[in-house]
Amino acid sequence: MKIRKSTKYRNSTKTARPDNASMTWMLRYVAPVKGRMATLMALLLVTTACQLINPQIVQHFIDASASDGPVSDLIKLAGLFLGIAVLNQLVTVAVSYLGNDVAWRATNQLRADLLGHLLRLDMRFHNLKTPGEMIERVDGDVTNMSNFFAMFIVQIVGSFILLAGILGVMFTKNWGIATVMSAFTILAIGVMMFIRNLGVASSQTERQATAMLFGLIEERIAGIEDVQANGAVPYVMNRFFRAMKSVFQTGRKAWMMRVIPWNATVLLFTFAVTTVLLMGVHLYLKHAITLGTLYLFFQYTQMLNDPIEQLGNQMQDFQRAKSGMRRSRELLALKSEIEPGTKDSLPHGALSIRFHHVNFSYNEDERVLHDIDFHLHPGERLGIIGRTGSGKSSISRLLLRLYNVDEGVIEVGGVDIRELKLEALYRRVGMVTQDVQLFDGSLRDNLTLFNPRVCDDEILAITENVGLRPWIDALPEGLDTHLAAGGTSLSAGEAQLFALTRVFLTRPSLVVLDEPSSRLDPATEATLTRAMDQLLTECTGIIIAHRLMTLETVDKIMVLSHGQIVEFGLREVLAADPESHYAGLLRTDRQEEFA
């Protein structure tokens, strides 16, 4: 469990940026799809034209039939109407296809950037964040933006063009009515913008309540074993009901606040239609306009509703997209404290290790390692012992550069690890920790970590060594057996053997084994100790162990206490010196001290 938390990332949400910077940032993701966007725009103009033309055809049709025009003219008009209606439908389908296509292309790049960035951020950051929160960042925020990418341009621009088209045509027909319609349009948009903000605060509370509910479910399902075993299901349900109640109450309020503005515009719209109709009928009765033109006025007024509503919706989406964008940019702006170096190569064969007066702390207030200073020659094996919390695992994390040291230098193969590219380090250095993570995939994929270049013979040879082979042979599908993520399909001991195989398949030149046998029974442990002996012949090894028996084959011993080296030396020398800590431990054999 990680209880203490670093303060480095706490206030990161306060670094908001101005919106126009957001826009240029967004353009980076939109730029690769600009060709498609242009096509989208062109198609949009076509549908707008179709929508504007058809009511005019109907207008002519009505006038022609009212004045007993020739039937052939009517048939032509009907045919034209049909043709344009079909064209409009086809183009509409194309627009929505292209719109989604553009949105996915643009936002998938962003998703990839976010996930890639997250995976490279240092452990101090990850210690502070839950997986649920990160999923929300990589997918939730981006999905909010994707609706925006897809439809914003299409609908905002489309709506404006349509509105301008309708009003423009109206002004050529009748100034008075066109003025009434324009006034209504401006008023409706204004009212909508003004009252839409009403719902923002309550929608935010609603989202918070929902996030709480999901957090609760995620946490309790993750701990299902403890929940069931302790008979805590009724308590969990009780908390769940309370969370649901809050979702319901905040949801109802938010819904009300969203519905009020919508109803207000509907009301406003009804007034507009009535006014236009009254004016139109008045003009018609004075014979100032034809029946067809009256129809056109009516139809165009009806058509005003859609673009206005869409503009309103887009404003809301825009708000959401803006907050998504802000959060994504904040995340991308976070720098990992682990800056890779430039050196790409380490000496061949087993690697030496040198710690030069290393001090380290996870957070400012408490130093975990004090002045750690030691040296291992290539091929040597070091056993580290010390009580829980004495800093053993911290040493291994530093060696793999999961954290930077506060002071001092760590050299691997004679190279300061800060000067190395991270890949160069990870290619040659392997680590087995106490927690083994399984991934959803076949047994082979889990052992090779999805590297298809590792052949089966190699896998089987190593599993043979660590004593996992009988277990694999007993599986009906062997290496093809599917493993579920999370590791519930393996016992803790099997998982440790599994992790060892995984590391040795990468043919490391330096291996850190962090309590590799803590969950094994004595018989399996003996097999494993023999296996490690063979596997470690070609590399330098650090073995952290809580049972002295595991360390019988190491060359050197380090005894740690409260983050300090209290003893370091050749195992045989220390064992022979009755004054040494190690000899004392061997004598009393108080293994449980290190459990």
The answer to whether 103 touches 131, Cβ cutoff 8 Å, is no
| Binds ligand ADP by CB under 6 A, chosen from 238, 263, 388, 488 | 388
Verify binding: residue 12, ligand ADP, rule CB under 6 A.
Answer: no
The stretch among 51-59, 134-142, 153-161, 388-396 that binds ligand ADP (CB under 6 A) is 388-396
The answer to whether 498 touches 433, Cβ cutoff 8 Å, is no
Beta bridge partners of 363: 366
Shortest distance in whole angstroms from residue 397 CB to ligand ADP: 7
Shortest distance in whole angstroms from residue 539 CB to ligand ADP: 22
Beta bridge partners of 382: 542, 556
The answer to whether 215 touches 243, Cβ cutoff 8 Å, is no
Q: Which is nearer to ligand ADP, 55 or 563 (CB)?
A: 563
String of DSSP letters for 168-209? HHHHHH-HHHHHHHHHHHHHHHHHHHHHHTHHHHHHHHHHHH
User: Distance of alpha carbon 589 from its chain centroid, rounded?
Assistant: 48
Q: Which is nearer to ligand ADP, 388 or 491 (CB)?
A: 388
Determine phi and psi for 477, rounding to 5 degrees: -105, 10
Verify binding: residue 168, ligand ADP, rule CB under 6 A.
Answer: no
String of DSSP letters for 341-369? -SB----SSS--EEEEEEEE-SBTTB--E
Using alpha carbons, select from 296, 298, 415 the residue that is nearest to residue 352: 415
The answer to whether 543 touches 433, Cβ cutoff 8 Å, is no
Q: Which is nearer to Mg ion, 47 or 393 (CB)?
A: 393
Site for ligand ADP in 110-139 (CB under 6 A): 127
Using alpha carbons, select from 323, 130, 296, 280 the residue that is nearest to residue 215: 130
Total binding residues for ligand ADP by CB under 6 A? 13
* Per-residue x/- track, 342-381, Mg ion (CB under 5 A): ----------------------------------------
Verify binding: residue 362, ligand ADP, rule CB under 6 A.
Answer: yes
Shortest distance in whole angstroms from residue 484 CB to ligand ADP: 27
Verify binding: residue 392, ligand ADP, rule CB under 6 A.
Answer: yes
* Per-residue x/- track, 368-387, ligand ADP (CB under 6 A): x-----------------x-
Q: Which is nearer to Mg ion, 257 or 513 (CB)?
A: 513
Other beta carbons less than 10 A from residue 244's beta carbon: 13
The stretch among 2-10, 251-259, 348-356, 387-395 that binds Mg ion (CB under 5 A) is 387-395
* Lookup result for tokens 């887009």: 314
The answer to whether 29 touches 109, Cβ cutoff 8 Å, is yes
The half-sphere exposure of 443 on its side-chain side, counting CA atoms within 13 A, is 23
Q: Please classify residue 171 by burial: count the beta carbons closer than 10 Å to its beta carbon, then call 0-12 exposed, 13-18 middle and 19+ buried.
A: middle
Decide which of ligand ADP, Mg ion, none touches 348; Cβ closer than 5 to 8 Å per partner kind: none
Decide which of ligand ADP, Mg ion, none touches 386; Cβ closer than 5 to 8 Å per partner kind: ligand ADP
Shortest distance in whole angstroms from residue 546 CB to Mg ion: 9
SS (H, E, C) 52-71: HHHHHHHHHHHHHHHCCCCH
Shortest distance in whole angstroms from residue 450 CB to ligand ADP: 27
Q: Which is nearer to ligand ADP, 44 or 395 (CB)?
A: 395
Determine phi and psi for 131, rounding to 5 degrees: -55, -40
Verify binding: residue 393, Mg ion, rule CB under 5 A.
Answer: yes
The stretch among 180-188, 222-230, 237-245, 392-400 that binds Mg ion (CB under 5 A) is 392-400
Q: Which is nearer to ligand ADP, 118 or 350 (CB)?
A: 118
Shortest distance in whole angstroms from residue 260 CB to ligand ADP: 49
Decide which of ligand ADP, Mg ion, none touches 2; Cβ closer than 5 to 8 Å per partner kind: ligand ADP
Determine phi and psi for 566, rounding to 5 degrees: -100, -15
Residue nearest Mg ion by beta-carbon distance: 393
Q: Which is nearer to ligand ADP, 362 or 504 (CB)?
A: 362
Using alpha carbons, select from 507, 343, 514, 540 the residue that is nearest to residue 423: 343
| Binds ligand ADP by CB under 6 A, chosen from 146, 390, 465, 518 | 390
Shortest distance in whole angstroms from residue 139 CB to ligand ADP: 26
The stretch among 58-66, 155-163, 390-398, 418-426 that binds Mg ion (CB under 5 A) is 390-398
| Binds ligand ADP by CB under 6 A, chosen from 394, 529, 540, 550 | 394
Using alpha carbons, select from 128, 130, 300 the residue that is nearest to residue 212: 130
Other beta carbons less than 10 A from residue 149's beta carbon: 26
**Kind and range of the H or E run holding 327:** helix 291-333
The answer to whether 514 touches 392, Cβ cutoff 8 Å, is yes
* Per-residue x/- track, 306-345, ligand ADP (CB under 6 A): ----------------------------------------
Using alpha carbons, select from 540, 538, 542 the residue that is nearest to residue 372: 542
Q: Which is nearer to ligand ADP, 123 or 273 (CB)?
A: 123
Shortest distance in whole angstroms from residue 392 CB to Mg ion: 5
Shortest distance in whole angstroms from residue 592 CB to ligand ADP: 15
Shortest distance in whole angstroms from residue 455 CB to ligand ADP: 35
Decide which of ligand ADP, Mg ion, none touches 383; Cβ closer than 5 to 8 Å per partner kind: none
Decide which of ligand ADP, Mg ion, none touches 368; Cβ closer than 5 to 8 Å per partner kind: ligand ADP
Shortest distance in whole angstroms from residue 382 CB to Mg ion: 15
Q: Cα separation of 242 and 184, whole Å?
A: 46
Listing from the earlier edge strand, what are the strands of the sheet with 556-561? 429-432, 510-514, 540-544, 381-386, 556-561, 564-570
Residues that bind Mg ion (CB under 5 A): 393
Residues that bind ligand ADP (CB under 6 A): 2, 4, 127, 362, 368, 386, 388-394
